[in-house]
């Protein structure tokens, strides 16, 4: 047994079962990747608790947050936040979380509702282009989950449709006028619709 242990030690194996450090690192990386995928699924399958005010607007009844790689931080939706789901005509409603996120980061005081990973490198101001980039990023994450497991021609058609929808909506919010920094995050329904 001692000889076997010595041979394994010389070969670079560290565990009693003879597993090498390289195998161990690969398994750890795979486990980490799997954990990230599960976290993304949880993040994009848990629905925020909202109340429908009318056909277009909703009000948040519980805090909700979503991570943005573009902002390198968490977008935190406060209780009583009022917004529309998505307002790009003809193709609205296909990525509601992205619409919520875009609505929040497009508000005057949105920077207060973002928890940055590193405050030193945090953005100082959210621009219209940055808000559109957050919208696109969250749509891409959501569509990646929707398209997962679909194969063949159906996958191609679904990806093409998703890509078209994403970019039409992205360019629409990037060049639309009249909405950016118009209201505060906790603006009431009456203030928004007035």
| Calpha distance 76→126 (Å, rounded) | 15
Looking from the CA of 170 toward its CB, the CA atoms found within 13 Å total: 16
User: With 70 as the cut, is the pLDDT of residue 178 above it?
Assistant: yes
Inter-residue contact 126 to 105 (CB < 8 Å): yes
> Does pTM surpass 0.75?
no
Residue 46, pLDDT > 80, answer no
User: What is the pLDDT confidence band of residue 117, given thresholds at 50, 70 and 90?
Assistant: very high
Does residue 2 have a pLDDT over 80? no
Length of the chain, in residues? 194
CA distance 15 to 68: 39
CA proximity to 68, closest of 134, 127, 125: 134
Here the tokens at position 46 are 């848990």
- Give the C-alpha distances (Å, rounded to integers) separating 84 from 21, 87, 139: 52, 7, 16
- Please check whether residue 77 is in contact with residue 107, taking contact to mean a CB–CB distance below 8 angstroms: no
CA 10 from chain centre, in angstroms, equals 46
């Amino acid at each position: 047994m001692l000889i076997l242990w010595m041979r394994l030690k010389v070969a670079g194996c560290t565990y009693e079962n003879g597993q090498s450090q390289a195998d161990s690192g690969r398994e750890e990386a795979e486990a980490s990747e799997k954990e990230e995928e599960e976290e993304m699924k949880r993040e994009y399958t848990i629905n925020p608790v909202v109340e429908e005010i009318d056909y277009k607007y909703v009000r948040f009844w519980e805090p909700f947050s979503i991570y943005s790689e573009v902002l390198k931080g968490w977008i935190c939706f406060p209780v009583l936040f009022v917004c529309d789901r998505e307002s790009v005509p003809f193709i609205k409603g296909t990525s509601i979380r992205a619409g919520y996120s875009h609505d929040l980061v497009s508000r005057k005081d949105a920077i207060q509702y973002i928890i940055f990973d590193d405050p030193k490198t945090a953005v100082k101001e959210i621009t219209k282009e940055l808000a559109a980039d957050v919208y696109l990023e969250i749509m891409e994450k959501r569509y990646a989950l929707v398209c997962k497991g679909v194969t063949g021609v159906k996958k191609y058609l679904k990806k093409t449709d998703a890509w078209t929808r994403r970019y039409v909506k992205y360019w629409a919010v990037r060049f639309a006028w009249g909405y950016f920094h118009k209201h505060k995050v906790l603006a009431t329904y009456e203030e928004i619709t007035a």
